[in-house]
Amino acid sequence: MAKGICHLTLIPVRSEPSDRSEMVTQMLFGELDDIIEEQKDWVRVITDYDGYDGWIDRKQILELSDETYGDLKNSLHYLTLDLMHPISVACKKGTIPLVIGSSLPGLRNGTLLFGKREYGYDGNTKLFSETADRKMLTGYAMLYLNCPYLWGGRSPFGIDCSGLTQMIYKLGGRKLKRDAHQQAMEGTIVSFISEAQPGDLAFFDDESDNIIHVGMILGDGKIIHSSGHVRIDTIDHQGIYNIHQKCYTHRLRVIKNLLPS
């Protein structure tokens, strides 16, 4: 099975092998994948970070040898902490702008190697293995405030509801699945909203009881979520209340604690 890595700022992962197909998620710089199928100019991949299945334009992925893939996968993983910061490409090939939460596997003394490709990075980073407390998660969440909503998005230039919670937790050193209904399967139930703490995730359903939305509790009756844009709204036992629309916009299903006690 062939292997690959995202070597651009971010790349769309689509439901079908076509530029016109729905974008179901994005891969950020430094994230790895397994290539499981090939079709002309497209490759079908399983993302290493969250096991997502989709199609990527072959021109947008860097294929790796099994050895290089293994070395990168098993190396220390750093994450970028600046909203945007360039990474330089060796041999005077310019720079690539990296968004917050990009992966830098094997970074050492400011140098990164993807096989024979060398990069230099001098921005702010943290080890993925360094876990965040609730206060830090709230701080990471606020970095995305006012970012536009984008179906399948995972960056400050566009992010959906589950992409937001996934990226907050990625920065916090904990892997989450990609979609809201998958995330809702994790953690332990918080019985009463009065017991919810900053960093807990709140999930919302539709008329058919399908989980369709997720946001992160901030405390004091507030929640941050991506709906139109990343915003802060009021939450109670019924759901999210939008003060500008003067109505409830999302019906609360369950609150989950995903952090160790």
What does the pLDDT read at residue 261? 63
Between 261 and 26, the higher pLDDT residue: 26
In Å, what is the CA distance from 76 to each residue of 83, 97, 126, 148, 173? 21, 22, 10, 32, 12
Residues whose CB is less than 8 angstroms from the CB of residue 42 and which lie 6 or more positions away in sequence, other chains included: 17, 18, 55, 56, 57, 58
Q: What residues are paired with 105 via a beta bridge? A: 77
pLDDT at 114: 94
**Cβ(197)–Cβ(211) under 8 Å?**
no
Does 91 score more than 90 pLDDT?
no
Burial class of residue 58 (count of CB atoms within 10 Å of its CB; 0-12, 13-18, 19+): middle
Q: How much is the average pLDDT of 117-137? A: 96
**Cα 163 off chain centre by:** 5
Q: Kindly provide the residue ranges of all beta strands, DSSP E only, lying in 58-183, ordered along the sequence.
A: 61-64, 77-80, 84-89, 95-99, 103-105, 111-114, 117-120, 125-127, 154-155, 158-159
Task: For the chain, state the CA radius of gyration.
Answer: 19
pLDDT digits (tens, 9 = 90+) for 196-210: 999 999 999 999 999
Quickly state the pLDDT bin for 250 (edges 50, 70, 90): very high
pLDDT tier at 260, thresholds 50, 70, 90:
confident
Write down how long the chain is.
261
Burial class (CB in 10 A: 0-12, 13-18, 19+), 240: buried
User: What φ, ψ does residue 246 adopt, rounded to 5°?
Assistant: 55, 45
Q: Which pLDDT tens digit goes with each residue over 5-47?
A: 999 999 999 999 999 999 999 999 999 999 999 999 999 999 9
The rounded Cα 183 to chain-centroid distance in angstroms is 12
In this prediction, residue 176 has a pLDDT band, given cuts at 50, 70 and 90, of: very high
Give the residue-averaged pLDDT of 47-58. Answer: 97
